Structure 1
Amino acid sequence: MDGPWTRLARAQRAPLAALALLALATALLAVLVPARIAAGYDRAAGATVSGADVRVEARADASDVGREMPTPSDVQGLGVTWQTALPEGLRDAVGPPETSVATNELAVAGDRPEPHLATLAWDPGANARVRFAAGAAPVNELSDDSDDDRGREIGVAVPKAYADALGYRVGRLVNLGERFPEDPLKVRITGLYVPVNAADPYWRSRADMLRVRTELRGEGVRVHTGTWLTDLGGYVRLTDETAERRLTIVWRFPIRSEAVGAGRVSGMAADLEAYHTAVKSAGAGTIEVSVASGLDGPLKSYAGQLRTARAVIGLTLSGLAGVAAGVLLLGAGLLAERLRPPLGTMRARGASLRQLAVPACGLVALAVLPAAALGAGLGLLLDAGPPQAQSAYAGAALLLAVLAVPVALVLREHGAGPPSATGRRDDLAAARPSRRRLVLEALLVALAAIGVVLLRERGAGAGTDPLVSAVPVLLGVACGMVVLRVYPYLLRALGRVLRRGTGAVAFLGVARASRQHPITALPLVVLLLAAAVAGFGATVQAALERGQDRAAWAAVGGDARIAAERLDPGAVARVRALRGVRDAVPARVVHDLRPGTGPVRVTLIAIDLAAYQRIAPGRLPAHPRGALLSPAAARELGTGPVTLGSPTFPSIRVEPSGRIDHFPGEQPGTPFVVVPYRALTGIEAVPSEVFVRGDPGEAALRGALQASVPRDVTGGDIYQTVQIRRDVLRGLTGAPMVGVVHGAFRDAALIGAGYGLLAVLLVLTVEARARGRGLAHLHVLGLSRRQSRALALVEIGPVLLCAAAAGWTLGLLLPRITGPVVDLGPYTGGFAVANHAVDPAALPALLGVLLLAAAAAVAVDRAFDTRHDLAGVLRTGE
């Protein structure tokens, strides 16, 4: 049946199909993009708390533990009680309790030059994750009525690495507890074990069960420590002992990273506080219990990163939504212009408001609504992440905006009088803004100004406010309005200049661009917003990279740094001799020095600042007359000379001559003093750190460190470190939330560029036939095919260049305008990021998009070339 609806739809099939495809793509992206970002937030949350736990700990004498929890089942049953007391949100995020009981460090009896300490532990989870390389697992009877020595022994299993390093063998009897030689704890080694899977996350918090740990204690004395495993019967015997021994009972609840999302993280801090109170109130009889957790730091770090990410990505997504809205409105506006002639004819024949509304609104609804529903359905089927409410809000707002266009057209046509016979042109160069448009533009400018003011007043928490998040869109639209006002004048001025030239193509192109209908200039606003989104993302990413690089320098102080309690005097020479090392500077760091009066503890750093300038130029003040004090040290020590010292370090006189805000390895806010290296004399001038310039490799540096540490202090895990700046930088840039932010910027730039190209193609395609009729006359006058392609470029060129220049400039300024929101400190270790200069590498990408748009113009011109049928086109035009 060929009715009026069918004929009208067939006549407008091209713009209807384009509008349907735009609605489908926009609905699909409205579901996919927020869901993908939300999934990234959840993955980052899980990665942040990975390996963390919640622990309930009890420390008591062995006799008290024996009275309150005489059997292992009592200990495990209490773990179920603590699990039940967990708040619901925290309970769903943790695994089952991992119970363990351990003694305090017990001295191993024997005549050795270096102390050996052992901790006995009953850990069912660890026992199930080891295999025995020698001997067998300990088997201790749960009850023992024997009075002989063999009956009072406790069988234990020792890590093979510990036994190999310190010479323990299966069957050896060891006495523990030198403080009570008259009643030592006798243990017999029944087996040597190795882990079934050393990479099992279970061992992350139990490293001492797998190796020997050697560290310096007291006056530089090496102490070897480790943990030995026993069984159920061993636990009973430990609690039956009457010697003064302390036991630590731990019920560990590991965090299940897969069960933690961004929504749950926000409430975990409050749940922890509530759990502290609940456990303290419940208690365990006469034994005091407490809650310990390593979650506080990760939760705080994640909260700061999430707040910044939501603010920055919110600004980006709002700009992207503005681009999508602009393209949809452009498609609907072009369709409305195509519908004006038939609607005008219907109105002239006496059609009512309903008769005008049904075909206009019905066609748009039939094109948009099914396509949008299909796009949303596809987005949900792809399951990129949890569906977001903002997707529904954004999709509904965009659909309402599109459906409002035919309604406005119908109202305009129904209320319009007879066509004007003045012959006045209605194009870019001659159009005059109405009062309604002036009021609308003033309102947009006012909203943009209000949004900027609110954003800067509310600071970092302002990114979730809808009005504040819409600031990029409001600024982009306001900037677009300004450019549209200036654009006709630019075309007129350019036309007057080209009129004097000898070539006709450039002048004709500018003239045709100025004679276009105002609606064909709407891609300028869309392209401007897309360029602003890309410029904003490129600027923030460049600032983030520079801030992270600065944070890595601040942490390491050079390309690398090696440190120990004390290095050999020839350490610097050995490091300088390594392949890849270009320079090395020694430093001596001494902690816990005190002035003559007052309780403050200060860190002394002795280094040759002039030499350090070669390692890290411009990082520290050069050639000070005396000592440099951190702000905290200046507050505590004052501005006059002061003497610092300790029982293990001779006194040194410090004469302040300036301030220093940061020094590598020192936390902000800590009191430290930097003095020239020559201030140290004698034995105290032995370095403890070496700052390296170059790239010798971590293995080479570790080898030089081992060779440079005096034999009497080797093996200290805590006191020997090698830091590589690129590794620290990799840790910053590889943080999960950083990947989410980078991914959001990348997707926004690609989607914005795609929408911009679609806007250009839409206008070119819809107006191609009308343009073909105009070019037909020029072809008759001798316009060649090559000149036709050049004419297409000249026509689209002013719009592309104005939009790209204005949008890119706005994007570069947005980080400064939204300064309080774009707080990148959580991603840079707390260092403020003030340099928002864009990375020059982003400019070729912008140029590439402009070239694609120009290529699209040439392709459309070629597709609708009218040279093969000039007569038919000219007759159609008549």
Structure 2
Amino acid sequence: MKGWIARVRATAGPLALLGTLTLLAGVLVVGAPRAANRLTDEGLRNDIAQLSYTSRDLTYRGLKDKGDNWKPDGKLDQQQAVLYPALRERIEQSWWAATTTLDESWVTGTGLPGDNKQGAMLFSLRAGNGLEEQVDLVEGRFPKTQPGTVGPIEVVLTEWNADKLRQKVGSTFLFHREVPVQVVGIVRPHDENGTFWEPAPFGLRAYLPNDDGDPYRAVLYSDEFGLDRVKDLVGIVYEWRYRVDTAKLDAGVLPEVVEAVTVARRQGLDATLLTSLDSQLAKFADKARAGAALLAVVQMGALITLAGLVLLAARVAVTRRRGEFALLRARGGAIATIGSYTLLESLLVVPPAVAGGLLGAAVTGRPAVTWPVLALFTALAALAVPVMTMRTARNPSFSGERADLATARVGVKRRTAELSLLVLAGLGVWLLRSRGLSTAAGVDVYLAAVPALLAAGAAVAMVRLVPPVVSRLGRLAARGRGAVSFLGLSRSGRTAGAVIGPVAVLVVAVSTAVFSVAVASTIDEGRDRATDLRLPADVKVDGYFFDDATEAELAAVPGVTAVSQYMVDGASDLVVDQKRLGTVYALVLDGQAYAKVVADSGVDVTPPKEFTEAVPGAQVPVLVSPGVAKQLGGDHGAVTLRGRQYEFRIAAVVDGFPPIANGASNFIVVPWQAVQTDAQKAFTPNGYLVAGDPDPERLREVGAAGQERWANEGFRPRAYEEVTDVITWEQARAELDKASINAVVTFAYAIGAGAGVALALLAIGFAVVSGARGRGTVLSRLRTMGLSRGQGRRLLLVELMPVVVVAVVTGAVVGTAVPHLIAPALGLSQFTDGLSVGVTFDPVIVGASLVLVIIGMLTALAVETLFNRRLRLGEVLRLGSFDAGES
């Protein structure tokens, strides 16, 4: 036991380092995936929560089945029972409802304007479950319609509807002039934004038309007996709606839930399932796979770097005891016995590995199956020292080889290993570009390691190519004054091959950090570009409609440099040769004002000259999307704007036009200035693009005043609500950062950049330690010849500078090149609002590399100074042995 303790004390430093590395590996392997899973799941729940009920919920819609025993509430439970468990167990709420067809549900006798005209009042009757739980009864009672033909249909309506529709408890009117309807209650919703009201928004707030012949539209709540009274007069549609609980959704169950929703389309009820939940989940799964792939590349780079450091630490531990192993071997000790001694000591790395795993498991998030990876890493850390010990004991000459001859003895085995590494890296790049990172089972481990393999291969090539160049520089330095440069460069050229391990680790660490920064820069630039397409200005002001004076008032706000008004119509009629083709999204704005706003805002958008230079003519020159151009089949047509038809000719076909949503395929852009002046009177702006740095609150106040003036100029629409929305470019950009799994991406490149830099400095420390003994001997002798302490430090810097600089540059080049090489596999468009962007170069990488070299040199000086103190160089010089210095 005492002998074991003594051996542990002899290698306490390397063993502590091995334990620390396994601890870090445990946190990285177990904790990082859990954190990433938590961020992914939060993104999933956020995305699904923002969907409309038609996309998020499962809604079965159909007509009543034949049979007297048919009960809609019974069908609700029966349908849920046949759903797959993955879906059934995640149903949070369910509702059934029966509704009369709104366009057929006309009533009379309400007392509203135009009441006597058939179709002027459309009041749909709705029955179902859940109403009483969602409202407070303000007045009256809930409906209890008498079965048969006795008495009126009883209904309740919300306070807002009762006020706007001029109804109260006791009010009556006729459904189809035949069936009496009576209001028996007024209710107040608990939450007007609740999901219960989503399928019937007119039940919450009715549609109040302007004085243009449009009908009133409302939904009144009755009961099942009430709807039975009108089943022969109007169609009745039944719905069974199921809401999935987002709290029970996570990325791990996406495949099962998607399959369950797909199968649910043909299960149970003889009705049509209306939902896009399966497609939305499938889209998110694609994003999640892209995020997982990016994280896997970064994790693999960090893990391979840690593994390399483990091997370097094991080598240091063996080197310190090479004399002991040689003596044991000379006294007849078996190789396996010698290895078993060190194995018992190396097992001390297991507790730190377990501790790291437990720390990782304490991270909040959904667990991932990564413990086997930690077990393999721990096995590597525990076996590295015994394996190297047995190799040293088997070949005693190996322990005493000269580092300065390392480059001269490159055997066939090493050459084969190096060439195999390059082949593996090249093959991996080809596979990545052809099939991507992900497979049906998840991320391919080999392909995720390809960037690290490329970095290691580049390090090997660099170590083989650099020494001759440095040696040449050393011979040139011999012609100058002073011995420091000559000695340092000469040793650097001879010993570069001996530090191939630290150099390879350094290159992999730097490439991982630079890869993360390069990807982060690319995503940031892509999101900037996507924001420009969403909002080609510094600020956007939206509302109902504004009066003509609003533009000038906005321009007068302090900080505003340019303003461009616009008008949008999401459903304008598209006509060609008197034939209506359908509806189109129309955007009307002044081309010259738009160009000035874009230029002053510094937005990377160039409007077409056909638009900005358009002038009035017989036909308005417009921009159209490829989809509209295909519909027209020619170069002209007409579009209806604000009730007036405008003839146009196609000036250009464009794939997109900011601020029209990226990817839109059915739009037309009309230059305001090219419309005849008398025809422009029909245009009323409902938004503005603003350049400059104004106070958003001041813009909101001006916009609200403009809306109020417009509403008071002629008539106030019954449905008008004064809402002025102001959004800045920065706010729109922040929305992209918060969306979906972007937090996972941020987390991934934070790990890559932080871990890469930290591990790179540690690799530089190993590079110093690997040659410290040889430098110690040389330095001791040179000190007796008059070499000062300062010259000794410069000697270290000159010797290490070429290797470190070339390694950092190599890592930076590889890290920058890898995103270009494997760009198709990364799927970066998933993080940039669907916008495809090329990989960009961030100039910060150059400055960061320089800073890393400087910090690395300072680290090298600190490590060398500490090591020399432990060696006691004066005793080495007197006794001629490092072992004596370490005794």
TM range (shorter): 0.7 to 0.9
Distance 1:581 1:185 in 2: 56
Shift of 1:303: 2.3
Distance 1:819 1:198, change over 3 A: same
Shift of 1:355: 3.1
- Aligned partner of 1:185 in structure 2 is 181
- Aligned partner of 1:609 in structure 2 is 591
Distance 1:414 1:864, change over 3 A: closer
Tell me the secondary structure at the aligned position of residue 112 of structure 1.
coil
Distance 1:294 1:657, change over 3 A: closer
Note if contact 1:429-1:492 (Cα within 8 Å) is conserved in structure 2: no
Tell me the secondary structure at the aligned position of residue 565 of structure 2.
strand
Distance 1:544 1:850, change over 3 A: same
Shift of 1:161: 3.5
Distance 1:321 1:868 in 2: 32
Shift of 1:33: 1.5
- Aligned partner of 1:372 in structure 2 is 353
Farther off after superposition, 290-299 or 668-677: 668-677
Tell me the secondary structure at the aligned position of residue 278 of structure 1.
coil
1:739 matched to 2:743? The reply is yes
Tell me the secondary structure at the aligned position of residue 191 of structure 1.
strand
2:660 to 661, 665, 681: 665
Distance 1:779 1:302 in 2: 66
Shift of 1:264: 1.4
2:89 to 78, 92, 105: 92
- Aligned partner of 1:311 in structure 2 is 293
- Aligned partner of 1:637 in structure 2 is 632
Matches within 5 A, 1:748-787: 748-762=752-766, 764=768, 774-787=778-791
Tell me the secondary structure at the aligned position of residue 584 of structure 1.
strand
Shift of 1:661: 1.5
- Aligned partner of 1:110 in structure 2 is 111
Distance 1:755 1:477, change over 3 A: same
Deviations 1:758-780 (A, max 9, x none): 33344546766775565444444
Note if contact 1:425-1:431 (Cα within 8 Å) is conserved in structure 2: no
Matches within 5 A, 1:447-466: 447-459=424-436, 461=438, 464-466=443-445
Note if contact 2:543-2:725 (Cα within 8 Å) is conserved in structure 1: no
Matches within 5 A, 1:157-172: 158-164=157-163, 166=164, 168=166, 170-172=168-170
Note if contact 1:772-1:866 (Cα within 8 Å) is conserved in structure 2: no
Note if contact 1:116-1:224 (Cα within 8 Å) is conserved in structure 2: yes
Shift of 1:82: 1.4
Note if contact 2:514-2:816 (Cα within 8 Å) is conserved in structure 1: yes
Distance 1:785 1:198 in 2: 79
Matches within 5 A, 1:153-552: 154-156=154-156, 158-164=157-163, 166=164, 168=166, 170-175=168-173, 177=175, 180-188=176-184, 190-195=185-190, 208-214=202-208, 225-230=217-222, 234-241=223-230, 244-279=233-268, 282-283=269-270, 289-296=271-278, 298-364=280-346, 366-380=347-361, 382-393=362-373, 395-396=375-376, 399-400=379-380, 403=383, 406-407=386-387, 410-411=390-391, 413-414=393-394, 425-427=402-404, 430-459=407-436, 461=438, 464-502=443-481, 505-511=484-490, 513-514=492-493, 516=495, 518-552=497-531
1:798 matched to 2:802? The reply is yes
Shift of 1:809: 1.5
Tell me the secondary structure at the aligned position of residue 522 of structure 1.
helix
Shift of 1:131: 3.1
Shift of 1:443: 1.0
Farther off after superposition, 660-669 or 736-745: 660-669
Shift of 1:708: 4.3
Shift of 1:483: 1.5
Shift of 1:350: 3.8
Output the amino acid matched with 2:250: G
- Aligned partner of 1:45 in structure 2 is 44
Distance 1:387 1:139 in 2: 49
Tell me the secondary structure at the aligned position of residue 689 of structure 2.
strand
Deviations 1:212-242 (A, max 9, x none): 55577xx966665554445xxx333333445
Distance 1:810 1:715 in 2: 64
Deviations 1:40-69 (A, max 9, x none): 2222222222266433334548xx799565
Note if contact 2:823-2:839 (Cα within 8 Å) is conserved in structure 1: no
What percentage of residue pairs aligned between the two structures are identical? 25
Note if contact 1:30-1:395 (Cα within 8 Å) is conserved in structure 2: no
Distance 1:330 1:419 in 2: 15
Note if contact 1:428-1:514 (Cα within 8 Å) is conserved in structure 2: no
Shift of 1:642: 2.1
- Aligned partner of 1:857 in structure 2 is 860
CA RMSD of aligned residues (A): 3.9
Distance 2:409 2:338 in 1: 28
Distance 1:765 1:418 in 2: 18
Distance 2:241 2:577 in 1: 45
Note if contact 1:768-1:860 (Cα within 8 Å) is conserved in structure 2: no
Shift of 1:302: 0.7
Note if contact 2:503-2:767 (Cα within 8 Å) is conserved in structure 1: no
Tell me the secondary structure at the aligned position of residue 806 of structure 1.
helix
Tell me the secondary structure at the aligned position of residue 582 of structure 1.
strand
Deviations 1:763-799 (A, max 9, x none): 5467667755654444445555555555554444334
Give the structure-1-normalised TM-score.
0.85
- Aligned partner of 1:622 in structure 2 is 609
Note if contact 1:46-1:259 (Cα within 8 Å) is conserved in structure 2: no
Output the amino acid matched with 1:26: A
Output the amino acid matched with 2:379: L
Distance 1:531 1:223 in 2: 68
Distance 1:176 1:571, change over 3 A: farther
Distance 1:465 1:326 in 2: 21
**Structure 1: 5+ residue runs without aligned partners?**
284-288
Distance 2:577 2:398 in 1: 98
Tell me the secondary structure at the aligned position of residue 594 of structure 2.
helix
Tell me the secondary structure at the aligned position of residue 128 of structure 1.
helix
Note if contact 1:824-1:832 (Cα within 8 Å) is conserved in structure 2: yes
**Structure 2: 5+ residue runs without aligned partners?**
600-604, 615-620, 882-887
Output the amino acid matched with 2:743: G
Note if contact 2:591-2:673 (Cα within 8 Å) is conserved in structure 1: no
Deviations 1:387-434 (A, max 9, x none): 3234423641563476256425524642567999xxx84327754322
Note if contact 2:506-2:808 (Cα within 8 Å) is conserved in structure 1: yes
Deviations 1:533-584 (A, max 9, x none): 1212212222212222222222334334456786644453344344543222
2:564 to 563, 585, 607: 585
- Aligned partner of 1:286 in structure 2 is none
Note if contact 1:42-1:260 (Cα within 8 Å) is conserved in structure 2: yes
Shift of 1:750: 1.5
Output the amino acid matched with 2:746: H
Shift of 1:295: 1.5
Note if contact 1:563-1:719 (Cα within 8 Å) is conserved in structure 2: no
Note if contact 1:101-1:123 (Cα within 8 Å) is conserved in structure 2: yes
Tell me the secondary structure at the aligned position of residue 662 of structure 1.
coil
Output the amino acid matched with 2:290: T
Distance 1:243 1:227, change over 3 A: same
Aligned length: 841
Shift of 1:666: 5.2
Tell me the secondary structure at the aligned position of residue 57 of structure 1.
strand
Give the structure-2-normalised TM-score.
0.84
Output the amino acid matched with 1:634: A
Distance 2:783 2:641 in 1: 98
